[in-house]
Amino acid sequence: MGEVWKARFVKNDRIVAVKLLPQDMQDETVLARFEREVGLLRDMRHPHIVHTFGGMTDGEKGPGNTANRRFYAMEYLTGGTLQDLLERNERLSPATVVQYARQICAALAFAHDRGVIHRDLKPGNFLLADDGALKLADFGLAAVREGNKLTAEGRTMGTFRYMAPEQIRGRPPACPQTDLYALGVVLFELLTGTPPFAGATPAETLQMHLKKPAPRVVSREPHCPPGLDALVANLLEKRIEDRPPNAVEVGVRLGGLDDQITLRTRPAATADVPPKIRPAASADDDDLTAPPPPPPRPAAARPDAWVKWTAVGALGLCAALLPLAVSWREGSAALDRAEGRWITNLQQGSPADRAAAATTLGELGEDGDANYAALRNALDGDEDELVRAAAAGALASFPSEQGELASVLTKVERVEASERVRTAARSTRQSLEGDADVPGGRGSTLWAWVLGLLAALGAAFVAFKG
């Protein structure tokens, strides 16, 4: 159908990917579908959808004239696709699959909210950015509800291994649950290494999608958490009404799997060929070629009294700190779950909800591992000025990133069209510049406690030794 080239935009030296249709393409349906894809992607700005910069859909006619080639430019991503990742690793861990699935759901919820059904979800259409973020691409077969229909009623469009039953039959029309069925196929394949249905021919595979009950993930991957296995089975229901109602609910259910993913992990792999260990020689062993037994180890010297008392004190200190360590670990896990849910809220929902999520992530601050990246994505890519302003204000909670943020916020002040966003960026930049002069910073209190504890242990050591 076309080609994709790596290209350089000569006005600013930006590297992009350019998708072109063949110059001799005359199929009016293909041309209309391509032009609609350009329009769809240009208007869909989301952190987990490939960003499109626009293109050209018409030009002068004439032999040898390349001006009439249809093309559009999009961001250039170098991380490959989920298909590439799957081929390298055969299958992915449940924790990784859940992480990717939540990003996919955020992209689908955004598209579905705008009446766009992708209709061609598959591992090859999910691209990986340098930072590991997942981005949905290739809306060439997308259907727009209540819009111009380019697919005749009853016509089948899609990739046969990932098609929902209604998509195969061509009726009823594609809906959000059609994409959710394909999502179930993708998750099944990521978890097990193979799709749920793979017949000897495309026709056989399509019949399996229509009539054969989907296998459970645990039948091929026993270590899959039960909640994730149940969710994939729910996505693969034959009837539309039996599947989850929307991508938002799927994202919420994925967020509730954190405890299962943490507790149920795959056992560590063992070596293919264990080393051979010779049994210990007995008194009747006449094998003179065997090596002599090692000499007995000398008895350890008895410790001095101060050593014993120091050990007792160290054990007592560890026993006192153990409950604190357990409490910190439980609190950290809870914080990670809360952080994930607010990041999901930042990527979907109304502008007011996304702005509230940005503010909350700012309050969590540097205690969260992914808060900074999520707020940067919102500042750079959210379509609503309220959300971008909230993200700019929330970044004031990340003084450790002051060096990078100085240039980012300065650029926002210079090029941002919204006065609200520029004001928030200016306030955050000034706040961070003020924090840079304050001694101490994150972790200073913790280090003070650690140094004090070491000093006390040192004093106890000297006292006992004396």
Catalytically active residues, by annotation: 120
Q: In 347-418, where does DSSP find H-type helix?
A: 351-364, 371-381, 385-394, 402-415
Q: How far is residue 65's CA from residue 445's CA, in Å, rounded to a whole number?
A: 69
Q: How far is residue 86's CA from residue 98's CA, in Å, rounded to a whole number?
A: 15
Q: How far is residue 38's CA from residue 55's CA, in Å, rounded to a whole number?
A: 7
How is residue 16 written in tokens?
Answer: 């992009």
Q: In 46-175, where does DSSP find H-type helix?
A: 82-89, 94-113, 165-169
In DSSP terms, 262 is beta-bridged to none
The answer to whether the beta carbons of residues 71 and 20 sit under 8 Å apart is yes
Task: Produce one character per residue of 288-305: b if its CB has 16 or more CB atoms within 10 Å, e if not.
Answer: eeeeeeeeeeeeeeeeee
Please give the DSSP secondary-structure letter assigned to residue 453.
H
Cα dihedral value 210, 213, 214, 220, nearest 10: -140
Quick check: bond before 172 cis, omega within 30?
Answer: yes
Q: How far is residue 5's CA from residue 21's CA, in Å, rounded to a whole number?
A: 11
Q: Is 19 helix (H, G, I), strand (E, B) or coil?
A: strand
| Nearest partner of 7 among 68, 72, 51, judged by Cα | 72
The angle subtended at Cα 459 by Cα 454 and Cα 462, nearest 5°, is 125
Only one residue has tokens 């930049």, namely 429
Q: How far is residue 105's CA from residue 49's CA, in Å, rounded to a whole number?
A: 11
The answer to whether the beta carbons of residues 41 and 75 sit under 8 Å apart is no
Query: How many other CB atoms are found less than 10 A from the CB of residue 111?
Result: 23
> Which helix (H) or strand (E) covers residue 128, if one does?
strand 126-128
Q: In 26-137, where does DSSP find H-type helix?
A: 28-43, 82-89, 94-113
> Which helix (H) or strand (E) covers residue 184, if one does?
helix 176-192
Type of residue numbered 36: R
How is residue 86 written in tokens?
Answer: 């799957």
Only one residue has tokens 């030009």, namely 59
